[in-house]
Amino acid sequence: MKNMCVNGKSYEVKKLLGHGKGGYSYLVTDGTKEYVLKQIHHEPCDYYQFGNKIESEMKDYKRLKEIGIPMPEMFGVDIENERILKEYIKGDTVFDYVLRNEVKPTFVEQMKEMCAVLYPANTNIDYFPTNFVVQEDKLYYIDYECNDYMEEWNFENWGIKYWSQTKEFLEYVNKG
């Protein structure tokens, strides 16, 4: 496997975890511990406009940390190489649970608890189920993306459509 560096420290890439609109996330190790290394990309995205992605990641992380959203710790940012090193939270994504039709009511309850602190802070996150990992029945938001609150993009009006085997979820799966 290849290695990737963050601020001069080398990490062995174990596997690709996922690819989103902002970057590629890899499971990496320093030989002792596992981490997630996010490599920012600049591929076009027809439904979302970005500014400076690495600055946005840092700003969004700080905002969500202040709000108190359960998420992986950010360990380092390599601005020059546009890489972020963060805590690896091992577990299946909510997307995996939806595919198996095994979403537990507690997952939606935890999401609503997050919304109860996000909305008063004028904040939405990306509620798509690939952005949430379940570890020991606790939900973690593994992305750092957030935006100012807009009702049409909140969990109840948009996100929930993908948290069970709805028409929207099945269309997404069949499209990919």
Mean pLDDT, contiguous 10-residue spans, the chain (176 residues) = 92 93 92 96 63 88 98 97 97 97 97 98 97 97 95 96 96 88
| Alpha-helical runs (H) found in 43-158 | 53-67, 94-99, 105-118
Helix (H, G, I), strand (E, B) or coil at 61: helix
Look up residue 87 and give its amino acid. E
* Whole-number Å distance between alpha carbons of 77 and 58: 8
What is the Cα 20 distance to its own chain's centre?
9
Question: How many residues make up the chain in this entry?
Answer: 176
* Whole-number Å distance between alpha carbons of 98 and 111: 15
What's the confidence (pLDDT) of residue 41?
84
What's the confidence (pLDDT) of residue 66?
98
What's the confidence (pLDDT) of residue 46?
58
* Whole-number Å distance between alpha carbons of 117 and 1: 41
What is the Cα 72 distance to its own chain's centre?
9
Closest among 148, 145, 62, 69 to 110, alpha carbons compared: 69
Residues contacting residue 104 through CB under 8 Å, at least 6 positions apart: 97, 137
What's the confidence (pLDDT) of residue 52?
79
Contact 138, 110 (CB under 8 A): yes
Place of tokens 């499971």: 27
What's the confidence (pLDDT) of residue 20?
81
CA 48-53-55 angle, to 5 degrees, is 135
What's the confidence (pLDDT) of residue 47?
55
What's the confidence (pLDDT) of residue 21?
76
